[in-house]
Amino acid sequence: MLFSKLFSISAVVAASLVGGAVADKHNTCACNIIDNYNWRMTTKACDRYNEKGHPGGKVKYDTPSGMCMGDGEGNYVMGKEWEAACREAGDSGFACADGVGTCFQEDDSKVRGTCPGASWD
């Protein structure tokens, strides 16, 4: 009985890890600094993401939602590449909240790409 419960838990954990690693395509993504959404960094990351020419196609910043999203049918955001774009935006700089100058977040451990909603592989 104990073995079957442990096996069931292990199977669920393994399945969730595999699904998370494989399912990396998303409709929308944003950048966070220490769990706080940052639209200025998100807009810059959208630009960076497009510069790289990822297989998912072009993305655009959607002002009403505050998210970066696939620009047209069949385009999507790839999660790992998106997080890299957020970190690049933090390193290279983005508009400051007060509208004056350029702000940076060079500590990559504080920058996260977040992609809410469904994902697929």
Per residue in 66-82, pLDDT (tens digit) is: 999 999 999 999 999 99
Supply the pLDDT for residue 7.
32
Supply the pLDDT for residue 71.
95
Residues 54 and 68: beta-carbon distance below 8 Å: no
**What is the distance of C-alpha 62 from the center of its chain?**
15
Those residues of the chain that have pLDDT short of 70 are: 1-23
Residues 46 and 79: beta-carbon distance below 8 Å: no
Residues 28 and 79: beta-carbon distance below 8 Å: no
Supply the pLDDT for residue 34.
94
Supply the pLDDT for residue 23.
57
Supply the pLDDT for residue 88.
97
**Rounded-to-integer distance, Cα 79 and Cα 27, Å:** 10
